[in-house]
């Protein structure tokens, strides 16, 4: 008879024991539940958008409702799903395990961050219930100060609060990595996922306060009429865009660095080889985190900034493609001659690499000023960032959830269903978003709720793809929940992977390790170099 070992899951099963827990593993699960909720909330808005755009005539909703729908979609997806998804779920769960620690440095602060996340979400959802906001997720002035007569302040306060959750998580991770590494875990023995958490935490801590400040100024101007962004009061609307993108371009790397960390882990484990060029992978994480702060002006080529500024931002945007390309080359080199096992996590990882490459290359189109003048605010941009953020980040997130699922739950999921869902996701994604590159290149503007008949075919394809994509997101909810009860029990290391997290039980005991592990070797010590 197999008797389950005491684990973090069995220690206290009341709701109160979960809602007051200081265990990073339980907090990771709290986040996973909340984040999944917001993902499907944002997904419902996405479905409505695609339904509206399935026909050219704007016959489902009014223009005003459409504006509120895509704003809600953007706000929820960016702030309540993409930014917290990997750091707060997988990061919280894995970071202490991977460095051989018992918990994060500040466990109570960790729980507090989760409550802040919920509080921010509450504001945003309330805002929706009261009628929504129509400014777009970027809250551009002067829309958000002069014209919009909706609940801008409420939405902005929600984002402001969730920003603090992000800052505190970043702080917690940085202190954890600096102070709680186990004996022998030197900086260059850290798994790449830990490095990616380090990079992302730096960005969270340094960039998010700028967002908080910007949103406060916006709220102050709306509430008191002090001129900050409004020219008629002596303010400058372009200032808002500078502030906003100074945070929000780095924020796209809050979404993509963790994905890169996850994918590095999935690829080495699936080919059972050391990652190619470990040190370059580390330097490129830091490179992306730093250069990410220098490119924000590529969102403003047509906003009226000086030509010279645009030239500099264009060149810097090309430069940031270099560390990203290094990563793609090194993943490819790791796969080369590798003995690849195509489990579901590997399919997700390969999907990430393909979609990220297409998203990144089209980013170079947009970084070229002469092309961007034509493509800006068309569906080409929509396709570009969805390839990176939805194609890339969501694939990596789900790949990671699958890979570490046995560790988190102690159970194996159905491999057949998981592979089917991953492949369906890849196909559905491309059918949804590839036509948008074409529509955008032909001039279809973004954020319009009706369009000329000649774009109808591409939009119908896109809406059909969205149906497949939605199905592929719902499937994992089904078979993963099923596995909780009926899945086969996983041993400590079902994939034969390397890393401290695989050396402890699945699911891990409350304090992670029976005794603190000692590290004597670099990461990914597989037999094949
Ligand atoms: C190779 C690297 C990249 C380059 C050179 C690049 C370049 C650009 C440029 C120039 C724009 C402005 C387009 C316009 O307004 O016409 C843009 C938009 C955007 N990019 Fe990227 N990008 C890159 C990677 C990423 C990544 C990694 C993400 C997300 C994880 C991302 C997310 C976005 C978003 C959300 C927008 C839309 C902003 C808006 O609402 O206007 N990009 N990108
Ligand atoms: Cu940017």
For 224-255, what is each residue's pLDDT tens digit? 888 899 888 889 988 999 999 999 999 999 99
For ligand 1, atom 4: residue with the closest CA: 363
Ligand number with the minimum distance to the CA of 249: 2
Ligand 1 atom having least distance to the Cα of 136? 40
pLDDT at 20: 96
Q: Is 256 in the pocket of ligand 1 (CB under 6 A)?
A: yes
Looking at residue 444, what DSSP letter applies?
P
Q: What's the CA-to-centroid distance between 364 and ligand 1, angstroms?
A: 9
Query: Quick check: CB of 324 below 6 Å from ligand 1?
Result: yes
**Pocket flag, ligand 1, residue 388 (CB < 6 Å):** yes
Residues with Cβ < 8 Å from 474, sequence gap 6 or more? none
Cβ–ligand 1 contact at 396 (below 6 Å): no
Q: How far is 248 from 270, CA to CA, in rounded Å?
A: 33
Q: φ and ψ at 410, to 5 degrees? A: 80, 10
Residue 371 alpha carbon to ligand 1 centre in Å: 14
Which ligand 1 atom sits closest to the C-alpha of 378?
16
Give pLDDT, residue 4: 57
Ligand 2 midpoint to CA 67 (Å): 22
Burial of 142 (0-12, 13-18, 19+ CB in 10 A): middle
Residue 288 Cα to ligand 2 midpoint, Å, equals 12
Max distance between CA atoms of the chain, in angstroms, equals 77
pLDDT of residue 277: 94
Residue 132 has a pLDDT of 86
Q: Is 372 in the pocket of ligand 1 (CB under 6 A)?
A: yes
Q: Ligand 1, atom 14: nearest CA belongs to which residue?
A: 376
DSSP per residue, 59-122:
-SS-HHHHHHHHHHHHHIIIIIIIHHHHIIIIIHHHHHHHHT-SS-S-HHHHHHHHHHHHHHHH
Indicate which residue's Cα is closest to atom 29 of ligand 1: 252
Neighbours of ion ligand 2 (CB under 5 A): 249
Q: H helices within 225-339, ranges in order?
A: 237-271, 278-291, 307-335
Which residue's alpha carbon is at the smallest distance from atom 36 of ligand 1?
385
Tell whether ligand 1 has an atom less than 6 A from the beta carbon of residue 292: no
Regions of the chain where pLDDT drops below 70: 1-5, 149, 529
Ligand 1 atom showing the smallest separation from residue 392 Cα: 30
How far is ligand 1, taken at its centre, from the CA of residue 519, in Å? 40
Pocket residue to mutate for ligand 1, from 381, 437, 440, most atoms within 8 A of Cβ = 381
CA distances to 68, 98, 138, 232, 427 from 146, rounded to whole Å, are 17, 50, 15, 10, 43
CA of 513 to the centre of ligand 2 (A): 41
Locate 253 and state its tokens: 């790397």
Q: Is 255 a pocket residue for ligand 1 (Cβ < 6 Å)?
A: yes
Q: Is the CB of 376 under 6 A from ligand 1?
A: yes
- Distance CA(435)–CA(443), nearest Å, equals 12
Smallest CA-to-CA distance from 299 within 249, 256, 336 is with 249
- The per-residue pLDDT for 28 is 98
Distance 250 CA to ligand 2 centre (A): 7
Q: How far is CA 155 from CA 61, 77, 125, 437, in A?
A: 22, 14, 8, 30
* Nearest protein Cα to ligand 1, atom 5: 363
> Tens digits of per-residue pLDDT, 67-126?
999 999 999 999 999 999 999 999 999 999 999 999 999 999 999 999 999 999 999 989
pTM, to two decimals: 0.92
Tell me, what's the pLDDT at 1?
38
Q: Which atom of ligand 1 is nearest to the CA of 137?
A: 40
């Amino acid at each position: 008879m197999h008797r389950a070992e005491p684990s973090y899951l069995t220690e206290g099963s009341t709701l109160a024991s979960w809602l007051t827990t200081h265990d990073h593993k339980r907090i990771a699960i709290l986040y996973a539940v909340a984040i999944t909720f917001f993902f499907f909330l944002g997904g419902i808005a996405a479905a409505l958008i695609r339904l509206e755009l399935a026909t050219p005539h704007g016959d489902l909703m009014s223009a005003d409702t459409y504006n509120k729908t895509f704003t809600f979609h953007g706000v929820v997806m960016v702030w309540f799903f993409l930014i917290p998804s990997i750091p707060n779920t997988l990061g919280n769960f894995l970071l202490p395990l991977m460095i051989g620690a018992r918990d994060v440095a500040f466990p109570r602060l960790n729980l507090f961050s989760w409550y802040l996340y919920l509080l921010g979400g509450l504001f945003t959802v309330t805002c929706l219930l009261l009628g929504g906001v129509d400014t777009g997720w970027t809250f551009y002035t002067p829309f958000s100060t002069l014209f919009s007569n909706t609940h801008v302040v409420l939405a902005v306060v929600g984002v402001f609060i969730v920003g603090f959750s992000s800052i505190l998580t970043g702080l917690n991770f940085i202190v954890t990595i600096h102070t709680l590494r186990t004996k022998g875990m030197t900086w260059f023995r850290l798994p790449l996922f830990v490095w990616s958490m380090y990079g992302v935490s730096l960005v969270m801590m340094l960039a998010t306060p700028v967002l908080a400040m910007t949103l406060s100024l916006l709220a102050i101007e709306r509430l008191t009429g002090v001129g900050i962004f409004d020219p008629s009061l002596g303010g400058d609307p372009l200032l808002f865009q500078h502030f906003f993108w100074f945070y929000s371009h780095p924020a796209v790397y809050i979404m993509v660095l963790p994905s890169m960390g996850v994918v590095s882990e999935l690829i080495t484990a699936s080919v059972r080889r050391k990652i190619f060029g470990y040190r370059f992978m580390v330097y490129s994480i830091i490179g992306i985190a730093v250069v990410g702060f220098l490119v924000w002006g590529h969102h403003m080529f047509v906003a009226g900034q000086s030509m010279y500024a645009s030239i500099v931002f264009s060149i810097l945007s090309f430069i940031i493609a270099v560390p990203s390309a290094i990563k793609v080359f090194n993943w490819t080199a790791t796969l080369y001659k590798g003995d690849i096992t195509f489990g579901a996590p590997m399919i997700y990882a390969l999907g990430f690499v393909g979609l990220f490459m297409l998203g990144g290359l089209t980013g170079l189109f947009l970084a070229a000023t002469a092309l961007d003048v034509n493509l800006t605010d068309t569906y080409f941009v929509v396709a570009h960032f969805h390839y990176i953020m939805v194609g890339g980040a969501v694939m990596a997130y789900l790949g990671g959830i699958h890979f570490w699922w046995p560790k988190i739950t102690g159970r194996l999921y159905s491999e057949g269903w998981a592979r089917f869902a991953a492949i369906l996701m890849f196909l559905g994604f491309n059918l949804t978003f590839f036509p948008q590159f074409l529509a955008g290149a032909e001039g279809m503007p973004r954020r319009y709720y009706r369009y000329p008949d000649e774009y109808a075919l591409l939009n119908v394809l896109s809406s059909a793809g969205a149906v497949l994509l939605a199905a592929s997101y719902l499937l994992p909810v089904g078979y993963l929940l099923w596995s909780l009860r009926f899945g086969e029990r996983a041993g400590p290391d079902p994939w034969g992977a390397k890393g401290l997290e695989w050396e402890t039980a699945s699911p891990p005991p409350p304090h992670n390790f029976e005794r603190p592990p000692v590290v004597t070797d670099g990461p990914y010590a597989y037999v094949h170099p």
